[in-house]
Amino acid sequence: MTFRPFRNVIVCHLVPGSEDKVGAVFGHYDQITRPQDLGVIGRTLLSHDDLYIHVLDRKQDPEVSGQRRGLPAFQQIAEEIGPYVTPYPRYWENPSHSVAKQFYRWVPDGDVPEDRALTVIIQRMKPDAESDIARVFADSDAGPLPIETGVTGRWLYSIDDVFVHLLEQDKAKAAAVRQNHEFHRPAFARIMNDLSPYLSPYRPDHWQTPKDSVANAFYRWQAEDWTPPTDE
């Protein structure tokens, strides 16, 4: 079976245009420390408007592994990115309040291709709408659409009024769907209509098409000396 990391998603405010500075900080400490020794095997940093999104890949859920220690050089990193990355939630009191809550997960049965891409979609959500949003996606994921469109995994998160959608897809099949998107347009339109009471563009005045809800990755790191476990 395909190994899937346990993912944390951190959401903060980001000073626009500071991506290079923040990425350089993580690039430095990911080289001189060993996050993988504490169970962290990858990270992707993304920006969307004034948001900072940090997707953190772990070997295992810390609740299971017991590896709850902070990342190497956590304090130094926090101080160096502090001028650019600040708390988002209005209820923020400590760093744990920047971690988004996962409220839905879907992965297909069986193995999936190795060549997969992760897209991060950001939207505004109405308060306490998690169960309604999860219901819409569960209804769709129970049918043929995700397999037909190359979806190999979906994870939904919420933090304050921000909705984060991690969409993993088979690259080849997703490219084929984009070339012939008219066939699936009615199904996609139905989902968007069903979600419309609960979700809206993060920044409506900047939004024209669904592509405008996709966050931009500006830094990626993977532990090169770690390989996922294989089934015997």
- For the chain, the residue count is 232
Q: Which tokens go with 24?
A: 């350089």
Mean pLDDT per 10-residue section of the chain, whose length is 232 residues: 88 98 97 90 97 95 72 89 96 94 95 91 97 97 92 97 97 82 81 96 92 96 84 50
Residue with tokens 């069903």: 194
| Model pTM score | 0.93
Please give the pLDDT value at position 100: 97
Would you say the C-alpha torsion 186, 195, 153, 23 has a positive or negative sign?
positive
- Burial class of residue 155 in the structure, from the number of CB atoms within 10 Å of its CB (0-12 exposed, 13-18 middle, 19+ buried): buried
Please give the pLDDT value at position 108: 93
Please give the pLDDT value at position 232: 45
